[in-house]
Amino acid sequence: MNRVDARLFDRTDFPEDEAETKHLQALDGADTRLRLFQMDLLDPASVRPAVEGVHGVFHLASPVILQPAQDPENELLLPAINGALNVLRAAKDSGVKRVVMVSSQTAMCPTAADWPAGKVIDDDCWADVEILKKLELWYNVSKTLAEKAAWDFAGEEGLQLVVLNPGLVLGPTLTPAPTGSLRLLMLLLGGQKLDMEPFFVGCVDVRDVAQSLVVLYENPSAQGRHLCMESAVRLVDFHDELANLYPEFPVHRIQEDKQGWVVRSKAPSKKLIDLGVRFTPFDKTVRDTVDCLRNKGEI
């Protein structure tokens, strides 16, 4: 690969974002292989310059809000759905050959009381949007609807699309501030009780996400959706692992397992494994994450 173009911005205050891009500009080879574009994902005209002349596009941008959304339609749903469609339209119009989109495993979770016992979550599973709305899980709604809209567009327009559905993304970060998923981990280490039973099924290392994105782009045989997790576990397992790894933190131990619908699996991401992806063990991911947060003075 001779050039990497980064399309990072969905806001207009580009000069004020300089602090958020210094770590990218400091990467080896960035002076010749990295270009940054200013764009507003909700403004189709601003998206086109960033995709012209490229062979492939990775679409990762989507709003993450941990606290309850005051205006879910405008804070989460429209940016996720319309942002994805604007990128796909620009890619189609510019002759891009392949788009890799990051969705989420939350778009796969059944969220239904009548989920068949013993059925493993796989690439054919879709979250029930109406149940998600009743639970006010608006981030999950946004990811599910954005992915469905993307598939509809790709099917209608003949665009080559492949989707990655990662679990909770952990691992060391290059960003100056913790990402949304890392802030969630920080809350758990601080003893917070978070209601994730309706959708949590496992974690994945950010380095494995990056590896998976490249694999999906470079392999034309990769088609459809791809669950991306080191293992499928229940929330009680996740809390227990954190508490065992870091007894010095007041991690809440869950007393009642409410995730009987989650079938534990050591290899839930077989499609990616068959493509050559090798997943980082959970304990290494967590230790590297905590070490990174400590080095940044976040915990």
Q: Which secondary-structure segment (H or E) carries 33?
A: helix 30-33
In whole angstroms, what is the distance from residue 212 CA to residue 208 CA? Answer: 6
Within the chain, what is the greatest distance between any pair of CA atoms?
A: 55
User: Which token pair is 179?
Assistant: 């990402």
In whole angstroms, what is the distance from residue 25 CA to residue 19 CA? Answer: 10
Query: Are 231 and 282 in contact, with CB atoms under 8 Å apart?
Result: yes
Which residue type does 96 have? V
Query: Are 6 and 50 in contact, with CB atoms under 8 Å apart?
Result: no
What's the distance, CA 16 to chain centroid?
Answer: 25
Q: Which secondary-structure segment (H or E) carries 98?
A: strand 98-102
| Catalytic annotation, pick one of 22, 92, 143, 270 | 143
CA distances from 183 to 23, 66, 96, 179 (A): 19, 9, 35, 6
H helices, E strands: number in the chain: 12, 8
Query: Are 205 and 279 in contact, with CB atoms under 8 Å apart?
Result: yes
Residue 143 falls in the annotated catalytic set:
yes
Residue whose structure tokens are 């950010």:
206
Active site residues: 143
